[in-house]
Amino acid sequence: MLAFTVHSGLVAPMDRANVDTDMIVPKQFLKSIKRTGFGPNLFDEMRYLDEGQPGVDCSGRPLNPDFPLNFERYQGASVLLARENFGCGSSREHAPWALVDYGFRCVIAPSFAEIFNGNSFKNGLLPIPLDSDIVDRLFAAMYETPGYALTIDLERQVVIEPNGEEISFEVDAFRRDCLLKGLDDIGITLQSADAIRQFESGYQKTYPWLFHRLEV
């Protein structure tokens, strides 16, 4: 997995609450059996004026001129500033895949939907929850300042503003650790293989009906 230690990047806005996974990547793109290539279809329905289809080259599609990610000033952004309950809806991991594939490494919002939050950490995308008044302030500063960029230091758990001020944030310690080191958590779990086996054998004696193969 992509490790995340310190990252500095241009900030772009997604200025609405409850951005759902259908908005982040519409369902027609879920037909792909790959993990990559979702970036051009990130926010597809808002970003383009026509209806996106899987397998179609997006470079010739009409862009929605009112959608901020299409503005010149936000090109190359890697930090997304968003509102409450970002990532609500489905469990599709295609949502963080699309954000990462587009170039985002971090989403800052007052709150995140749980499944999305977990999926992000597993894909090198850092979701940072900050109080909504701080998020309000960052939105205002970003709109006012062309080229507005933030630095995120995951080790120290701080967001560093352009003037050097630091905003600290809290994230799950285990997830932070995995992300800092770029660890695959299956490998970590398999270190407990003996404990799993031991649990399983006792458990199977008590609940034998759970262990029959489902003959189709």
Partner 1 sequence: MGKTLYDKLWDNHLVEQREDGTALIYIDRHLLHEVTSPQAFEGLRLAGRAPWRISANIAVPDHNVSTDRTERLAGVQALKDEVSRIQLTTLDDNCAAFDIPEIPLDDLRQGIVHVMGPEQGATLPGMTIVCGDSHTSTHGALGALAHGIGTSEVEHVLATQCLIGRKMKNFRIEVRGPLGLGVTAKDVALAIIGKIGTAGGTGFAIEFAGDAIRGLTMEGRMSLCNMAIEAGARSGLIAVDETTLEYVEGKPYSPKGDEWEAAKAFWSTLHSDDDAVFERELVLEAADIKPQVTWGTSPEMVVDIGGRVPLMSEMATDTARSGLKRALDYMGLEEGQRIEDIEPNVVFIGSCTNSRIEDIRAAAKVARGRKVAGGIKQALVVPGSGLVKQQAEAEGLDKILLEAGFEWREPGCSMCLAMNADKLSPGDRCASTSNRNFEGRQGFGGRTHLVSPAMAAAAAVTGRFVDVRTLEEMS
Exactly one of 6, 35, 56, 155 binds partner 1 (CB under 8 A); which one?
35
The answer to whether the Cα torsion of 99, 100, 101, 103 is positive or negative is positive
Strand 158-160 relative to strand 166-168, pairing: antiparallel
* SS percent in the chain: helix, strand, coil, step 5: 40, 20, 40
Q: With CB under 8 A as the rule, give the number of residues binding partner 1.
A: 64
Interaction between residue 155 and partner 1 (CB under 8 A): no
Exactly one of 72, 144, 163, 216 binds partner 1 (CB under 8 A); which one?
216
Euclidean distance between CA atoms 95 and 59, whole angstroms: 21
| Whether 151 contacts 8, CB under 8 Å | yes
The answer to whether the Cα torsion of 90, 91, 97, 100 is positive or negative is positive
Q: Which residue has the tokens 């990532």?
A: 87
Instruction: Find the binding residues for partner 1 in span 8-27 (CB under 8 A).
Output: 15-18, 20, 22-23, 26-27
CB of 60 to partner 1, least distance (A): 18
Interaction between residue 205 and partner 1 (CB under 8 A): no
Structure tokens at 125: 């995308």
Interaction between residue 31 and partner 1 (CB under 8 A): yes
- What one-letter code names the amino acid at 10? L
Q: Is 142 helix (H, G, I), strand (E, B) or coil?
A: helix
Interaction between residue 203 and partner 1 (CB under 8 A): yes
Instruction: Find the binding residues for partner 1 in span 40-99 (CB under 8 A).
Output: 45, 51, 54-55, 83-85, 88-93
CB of 208 to partner 1, least distance (A): 6
Residues that bind partner 1 (CB under 8 A): 15-18, 20, 22-23, 26-28, 30-35, 45, 51, 54-55, 83-85, 88-93, 111, 113-115, 118-119, 122-123, 172-174, 177, 184-186, 188-190, 192-193, 195-196, 199-200, 203, 207-216
